[in-house]
């Protein structure tokens, strides 16, 4: 995950709670951003366009385990199904859900990573694109982390299987931590033994993008009440870095429940393989009246690097299940310590301003013709 940039407080339009006023604000914002005057005039200057807005969800149910990468003017969204791994590509953040879904890898009919393909993540390491994903041979007890490598320079092009990481036992939701000095680590969720019933977070050094080195180190067990609802689970680790600080934001409790939520670890030391350097910061994002089961997040910065966005899935129903999960996004800020402040899930009817771009934000400002112009307006 690339280092997040310093961000001013992003703008949320119309914070009032009235749903009718929010709907009206959205319609007005779209109208203001989309209408271009065509009266006879002469362009004289450039002025900012009206803000473009979107509302959640980014992707309709069923959609889960979001991960978005911004690269070379495009947003890339990685997702999976039993048919393989797919990529969406869009210049417009709020339109990712409408972008065509292109399959970049298809699993073999049989093999160690041929079934139950979960939570793919795109990472660009040493100038090369890799996708890490969880899969098994048809038996959940054999879930492991597979690695794909791009066959072309196109991030949305074809990928091939480069290997299966040796995590020693059951593993899902793997992600990569790269420090400023180049040291690289792999973090995942795994069972403490060979039976389902609890998931912990583990870390291991990486010898290369496709190979681990050394033994796994346990860095987090689900020992808090909010991590143990329905089942003791810590999963979905995501790395967030800013100004030399390193955080792991992870998901806790049963993903099928309304109580699924986010917790955070803070690296307080120079050695990520020393479990004592990972300090728990508690629960940082949880359900409210607008969303249930919020978890398995990702992070992406705006194109100009001034805003940071939280992307997560949420249930839109209180009852247990996975089929009602949808992908949402909202901006977040930072406190005086340099720690992320995620707030709480926003109302999906609340219009959000698109992440700021540095290009394409200006339109010609025109001045009217003088009254004595010989040209007449056509009615």
On whether the CB atoms of residues 208 and 147 are closer than 8 A, the answer is no
Establish if 1 belongs to a structural domain: no
User: Which residues, other chains included, contact 120 with Cβ-Cβ below 8 Å and sequence gap of 6+?
Assistant: 65, 67, 78, 79, 80, 85, 131, 132, 133
Mark whether 235 is an active-site residue. yes
The pLDDT assigned to 356 comes to 74
Residues 165-203 have pLDDT tens digits of: 999 999 999 999 999 999 999 999 999 999 999 999 999
The pLDDT assigned to 114 comes to 97
Mark whether 121 is an active-site residue. no
Question: Catalytic pick from 121, 235, 307, 308?
Answer: 235
The pLDDT assigned to 354 comes to 87
On whether the CB atoms of residues 120 and 79 are closer than 8 A, the answer is yes
Give dist(CA 185, CA 124) in Å, integer. 14
The pLDDT assigned to 367 comes to 38
Establish if 13 belongs to a structural domain: no
Establish if 2 belongs to a structural domain: no
CA nearest neighbour of 131 among 111, 150, 144, 115: 150
Give dist(CA 78, CA 286) in Å, integer. 24
In sequence order, the β-bridge partners of residue 46 are 364
Establish if 376 belongs to a structural domain: no
On whether the CB atoms of residues 373 and 367 are closer than 8 A, the answer is no
Establish if 331 belongs to a structural domain: yes
CB atoms within 10 A of CB 172: 24
CATH number at residue 273: 2.115.10.20
User: Which residues, other chains included, contact 361 with Cβ-Cβ below 8 Å and sequence gap of 6+?
Assistant: 48, 49
Give dist(CA 298, CA 237) in Å, integer. 9
Establish if 147 belongs to a structural domain: yes
User: How many domains does the chain contain in total?
Assistant: 1
Establish if 377 belongs to a structural domain: no
Establish if 322 belongs to a structural domain: yes
CA distances from 62 to 158, 313, 326 (A): 25, 10, 6
The pLDDT assigned to 357 comes to 62
Give dist(CA 273, CA 299) in Å, integer. 23
**3-class secondary-structure state, position 102:** strand
The pTM assigned to this predicted structure is 0.83
Residues in the chain, pLDDT under 50: 1-47, 49-50, 358-379
What's the domain range around 253? 19-367
Classify the phi-psi angles of 231: left when phi > 0, otherwise alpha if psi is within -120 to 50, otherwise beta: beta
């Amino acid at each position: 995950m690339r280092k997040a940039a310093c961000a001013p407080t992003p703008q949320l339009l119309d914070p009032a709670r009235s749903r009718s006023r929010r709907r009206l604000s959205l319609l007005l914002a779209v109208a203001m951003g989309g209408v271009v005057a065509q009266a006879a005039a002469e362009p004289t200057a450039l002025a900012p366009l009206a803000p473009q807005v979107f509302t959640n969800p980014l992707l309709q149910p069923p959609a889960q385990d979001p991960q978005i990468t911004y690269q070379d003017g495009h947003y890339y969204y990685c997702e999976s199904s039993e048919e393989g791994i797919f990529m969406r590509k869009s210049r417009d953040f709020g339109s990712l859900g409408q972008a065509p879904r292109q399959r970049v890898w298809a699993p073999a009919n049989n093999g160690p990573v041929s079934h139950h393909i979960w939570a793919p993540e795109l990472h660009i390491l040493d100038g090369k694109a890799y996708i890490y994903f969880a899969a098994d041979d048809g038996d959940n007890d054999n879930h492991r982390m597979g690695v794909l490598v791009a066959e072309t320079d196109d991030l949305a092009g074809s990928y091939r299987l480069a290997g299966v990481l040796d995590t020693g036992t059951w593993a899902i939701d793997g992600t990569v931590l790269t420090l400023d000095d180049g040291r690289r680590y792999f973090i995942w969720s795994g069972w403490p033994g060979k039976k389902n019933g609890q998931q912990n977070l583990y870390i291991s050094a990486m010898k290369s993008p496709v190979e681990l080195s050394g033994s796994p180190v346990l860095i987090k067990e689900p020992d808090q009440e909010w991590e143990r609802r329905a089942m003791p689970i810590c999963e979905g680790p995501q790395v967030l870095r800013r100004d030399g600080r390193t955080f792991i934001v992870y998901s806790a409790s049963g993903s099928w429940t309304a109580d699924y939520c986010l917790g955070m670890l803070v690296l307080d030391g120079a050695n990520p393989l020393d479990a004592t350097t990972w300090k728990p910061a508690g629960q940082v994002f949880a359900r409210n009246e607008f969303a249930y089961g919020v978890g398995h997040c990702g992070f992406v910065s705006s194109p100009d690097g001034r805003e940071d966005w939280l992307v997560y899935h949420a249930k839109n129903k209180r009852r247990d299940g996975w089929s009602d999960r949808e992908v949402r996004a909202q901006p977040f800020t930072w406190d005086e310590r340099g720690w992320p402040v995620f707030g709480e899930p926003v109302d999906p009817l609340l219009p959000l301003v698109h992440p700021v771009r540095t290009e394409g934000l200006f339109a010609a400002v025109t001045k009217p013709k003088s009254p004595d112009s010989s040209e007449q307006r056509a009615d």
